[in-house]
C-alpha cells in the first residue's frame, strides 16, 4: 500500500513546494503526507459500505465512520435526522466555532448512486495510480480529502478559533422531497458561514467550478380526439396526440437547443389508445392499435440551466410552443423546481483566486474556472445565493455513476494538500 505515495511525480511536486510555500505551509504538506496511507485505508473502508441514497442503514454506517474521524480533527459531529416520510437517512454535520478568518462551509455527501440491488464493486487497486469502487471518487474520495485535510491542520494547532461547518448530506444523489425539508438545515447552517467549498470530483489539479448548472423537471400532457385512423389529418378528426407531442418536442429542439448551457431531455414518452404510468418507479405501459388515433401522450423530462433568468425564459418559450396546438389537440406543460443553479459570480472568482494562489505556490500553476456546462447540479447550488464559493475540490477519477468508477491515486495526495492549504489560507489570511 505504501508504494502509492512514492510516485516520482509526487516527489517532484513536493520539491517544488519547498521553494514557494511558507514554513507553516511546508509543515501542513508534511502533516498531510504522514496520513496518506491512512487516507487510503479510510477510503477503502467507506467504499466497501454500500450507501446508495435509498439504503438508510448504509448511509448511516458511513456517517458513523466519518463522525469518528471528524472527532480526531477536533470537530463536533452530530446527526441531522429527516422525517420518516422522506425515506432518507439524514445528514452528518461536524462543527467547530470560532472567530478567526473566514467562516467555512465544507460540503460532501455520504450516499452514492449504487443501491444494494446493483452488482457490487468493492474497493480494488487496478495499478499504482488507479483504484475502483462504488462512489470512490463521487464522492467518498472527496469526503476523505476533507477529513484528512482537517486532521492535518488540527495536528499542527492551526484550527484554533476557526469557524468550520463540514456538512455531508445523506441524499445528494437522490434528494428527499420536498427539498424545502431535506435541505432546510443545510441552508440554514450555510448562512452562518462566509465561504462554501464543495468537494465533488476534481477535473484535474488546476480546475475548480465557479458555476454549476441547475436542474428542474417538466411534464407534458397531450390530449386529442380519437377515432378511426382513416380520418386523421381531416378537420373533424385532427392530428392525434402522438403527432402533437412530436411537434412540441421537435419545436423545443429547433428553437432552444442552440442556447449555451441550456439543455432539456425527454426521459420517457408514452402514448397510444390506453396507457398507465407509475411516477415512483418512472415506469409505464401503453396500448395502441395502428387504426386508432391516439388520444393521449405523456412526456417527462429535465431542464438544465446556468441562471435563474435562463431557466425562466426557457420555460416561457416552452409554454408558448406547447400552446400552438395542431387541429383537434390540446397540450399542457408543468414545471417543478429541483436544484437551483450555482451562478458564476465575482465572489466565486475571488475564492478561485485563493485556490489559484495555492496551486501556484505548490508549483502546479494557476487554477482556472471549469466550464459550467460540464457539471450537473450539486448540493452547493442550494446555498450559492447566500455565500461565495467553489466546487470541484474533491478527488479526481473517471466513470462516476457507472460500474467501474475509478479514482486517480496519483493526484489524490496533491488534492488533499491543496484542500488543507486552501482551508488554512482562508482561516489565517
DSSP string, 32-88: HHTTHHHHHHHHHHHHTS--BTT-HHHHHHHHHHHHHHHHHTT-EEEEE---GGG--
367 and 318 within one domain: no
Q: How many domains does the chain divide into?
A: 2
Q: What is the CATH number of the domain that holds 296?
A: 3.30.70.360
366 and 314 within one domain: no
276 and 401 within one domain: no
Length in residues, the chain: 429
Residue 322: which of 314, 312, 330 has the closest Cα?
Answer: 330
Domain boundary among the residues 339, 359, 379 is at: 339
SS3 content of the chain, % helix, strand, coil (to 5): 40, 25, 35
Containing structural domain, residue 193: 2-212+342-428
171 and 105 within one domain: yes
358 and 287 within one domain: no
Predicted pLDDT of residue 347: 98
Domain boundary among the residues 319, 339, 359 is at: 339
Positive or negative: CA dihedral 289, 292, 294, 295:
negative
236 and 199 within one domain: no
Domain boundary among the residues 339, 364, 379 is at: 339
pTM of the full predicted structure? 0.88
Contact 373, 213 (CB under 8 A): yes
Predicted pLDDT of residue 373: 85
334 and 204 within one domain: no
321 and 197 within one domain: no
Residue 32: which of 424, 427, 429, 414 has the closest Cα?
Answer: 414
Q: Say how far apart CA 304 and CA 311 lie, in whole Å.
A: 8
269 and 380 within one domain: no
Predicted pLDDT of residue 19: 52
71 and 94 within one domain: yes
163 and 248 within one domain: no
Positive or negative: CA dihedral 375, 379, 381, 387:
negative
147 and 104 within one domain: yes
**Phi, psi (deg, nearest 5) at residue 203:** -105, 70
Residues of the chain with pLDDT under 70: 1-19
Q: What is the CATH number of the domain that holds 112?
A: 3.40.630.10
Predicted pLDDT of residue 246: 98
Amino acid at each position: 500500500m505504501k508504494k502509492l505515495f512514492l510516485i516520482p511525480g509526487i516527489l517532484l511536486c513536493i520539491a517544488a513546494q519547498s521553494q514557494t510555500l511558507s514554513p507553516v505551509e511546508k509543515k501542513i504538506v508534511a502533516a498531510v503526507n504522514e496520513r496518506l496511507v491512512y487516507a487510503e485505508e479510510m477510503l477503502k473502508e467507506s467504499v466497501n459500505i454500500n450507501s446508495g441514497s435509498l439504503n438508510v442503514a448504509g448511509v448511516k454506517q458511513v456517517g458513523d465512520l466519518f463522525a469518528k474521524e471528524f472527532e480526531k480533527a477536533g470537530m463536533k459531529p452530530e446527526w441531522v435526522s429527516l422525517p420518516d416520510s422522506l425515506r432518507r437517512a439524514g445528514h452528518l454535520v461536524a462543527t467547530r466555532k470560532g472567530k478567526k478568518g473566514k467562516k467555512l462551509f465544507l460540503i460532501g455527501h455520504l450516499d452514492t448512486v449504487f443501491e444494494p440491488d446493483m452488482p457490487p464493486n468493492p474497493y480494488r487497486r487496478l495499478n499504482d495510480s488507479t483504484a475502483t469502487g462504488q462512489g470512490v471518487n463521487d464522492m467518498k474520495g472527496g469526503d476523505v480529502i476533507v477529513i484528512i485535510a482537517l486532521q492535518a491542520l488540527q495536528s499542527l494547532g492551526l484550527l484554533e478559533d476557526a469557524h468550520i461547518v463540514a456538512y455531508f448530506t445523506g441524499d445528494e444523489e437522490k434528494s428527499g422531497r420536498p427539498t424545502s425539508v431535506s435541505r432546510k438545515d443545510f441552508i440554514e447552517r450555510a448562512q452562518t458561514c462566509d465561504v462554501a467549498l464543495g468537494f465533488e470530483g476534481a477535473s484535474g489539479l488546476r480546475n475548480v467550478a465557479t458555476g454549476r448548472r441547475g436542474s428542474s423537471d417538466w411534464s407534458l400532457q397531450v390530449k386529442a380526439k380519437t377515432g378511426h385512423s382513416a380520418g386523421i389529418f381531416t378537420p373533424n378528426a385532427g392530428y392525434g396526440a402522438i403527432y402533437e407531442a412530436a411537434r412540441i418536442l421537435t419545436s423545443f429542439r429547433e428553437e432552444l437547443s442552440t442556447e449555451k448551457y441550456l439543455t432539456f431531455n425527454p426521459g420517457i414518452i408514452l402514448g397510444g389508445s390506453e396507457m398507465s404510468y407509475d411516477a415512483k418507479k418512472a415506469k409505464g405501459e401503453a396500448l395502441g392499435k395502428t387504426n386508432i388515433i391516439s388520444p393521449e401522450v405523456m412526456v417527462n423530462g429535465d431542464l438544465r440551466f446556468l441562471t435563474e433568468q435562463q431557466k425562466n425564459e426557457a420555460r416561457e418559450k416552452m409554454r408558448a410552443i406547447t400552446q400552438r396546438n395542431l387541429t383537434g389537440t390540446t397540450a399542457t406543460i408543468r414545471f417543478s423546481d429541483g436544484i437551483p443553479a450555482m451562478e458564476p459570480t465575482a465572489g466565486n472568482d475571488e475564492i478561485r483566486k485563493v485556490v489559484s494562489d495555492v496551486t501556484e505556490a505548490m508549483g502546479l500553476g494557476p487554477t482556472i474556472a471549469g466550464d459550467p456546462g460540464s457539471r450537473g447540479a450539486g448540493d452547493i447550488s442550494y446555498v450559492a445565493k447566500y455565500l461565495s464559493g467553489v466546487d470541484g475540490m474533491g478527488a479526481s477519477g473517471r466513470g462516476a455513476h457507472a460500474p467501474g468508477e475509478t479514482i486517480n491515486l496519483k493526484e489524490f495526495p496533491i488534492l488533499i494538500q491543496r484542500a488543507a492549504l486552501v482551508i488554512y489560507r482562508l482561516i489565517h489570511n
